[in-house]
Structure 1
Amino acid sequence: MTNKELVFTAVTSVFGQRDVSALDKYFDSNYIQHNPALPNGTDILKQIIPGLPADFKYEVATVTEHDDIVMVHGRFSNWNGKNYVAVDIFKVKDGKIIEHWDVLQEEVETAKTVTGNPMFPLS
């Protein structure tokens, strides 16, 4: 499995299917988190994922890979009552995700953007 395939499978399993067992399967036990609102490790995600609202949805638009870095352009719908477009950046080593950064922005409806362009390709 390529790093790109591993990350895609991991994020769609965890966020798309809410499979918390995927955290142990695809994420390193010493997972380093760079999002300033979350601690290191996967324990917090194991708490958050089951409590997501029934209409929460995760979609992937693009996945790109360069060596041990994989970036995912995705949308989180109804995350704490809001929709977000994100670029999640993962570092992979020995078949496990070992590190994560993200760039997260609240989604603006296409009709309300200055350009009329969507923030997410699947809009």
Structure 2
Amino acid sequence: MTNKQRALDYMNAVFTEKDMDKVETFFGNDWTQHNPSVKNGIQALRDVLTDNEMNWEPSIVMEEDDIVAVHGRYTNFFGKTVIAVDFFRFDDDGKINEHWDVLQEEVPAEKTASGNAMFPIRASH
């Protein structure tokens, strides 16, 4: 299995299945979080997701060496729709050791300067 597929499986476990026991199987021993609002470790992730009914759908997924980037849309992200790129670094055992993200509230295409949507939907990954 590729790290690209592992990243998609992880995101699906978190946001579609909402199965925290399964989510824990994706992390290495020294998980480092680079989002400035979230602490390191699985408990911090549990805290963010508790009582939050956000959903996620993928768009573009890229893999280079041990880094996977996942472009996606989060709906009901603390009451907003957000476009994000999540970056994951995997260890040699296929476990996630680091996470970065870049988040931006979605702007409808008709309100952008270019008229282009922020979220392209792709049928395959």
What's the TM-score once normalised by structure 2's chain length?
Answer: 0.90
Which residue in 2 is equivalent to 1:29? 29
Listed one character per residue, the Cα deviations across residues 38-59 of structure 1 (whole Å, up to 9, x for unaligned) are 0011112223324123xx3200
Which residue in 1 is equivalent to 2:67? 69
Aligned partner (choices 76, 79, 91) of residue 78 of structure 1: 76
Unaligned runs of 5+ in 2: none
Which residue in 2 is equivalent to 1:14? 14
Alignment CA distance shift 1:97-1:24 (3 Å): same
Listed one character per residue, the Cα deviations across residues 40-94 of structure 1 (whole Å, up to 9, x for unaligned) are 11112223324123xx320000111001000000110011101110110000011
Show the 5 A alignment for 1:98-113: 98-113=97-112
Pairwise CA RMSD: 1.2
What's the TM-score once normalised by structure 1's chain length?
Answer: 0.91
Q: Distance in 1 between matches of 2:66 and 2:60?
A: 17
Unaligned runs of 5+ in 1: none
Q: Distance in 1 between matches of 2:102 and 2:24?
A: 24
Shift of 1:36: 0.4
Q: Distance in 2 between matches of 1:75 and 1:29?
A: 28
Q: Distance in 1 between matches of 2:105 and 2:80?
A: 7
Secondary structure (helix, strand or coil) at the match of 1:51 reads coil
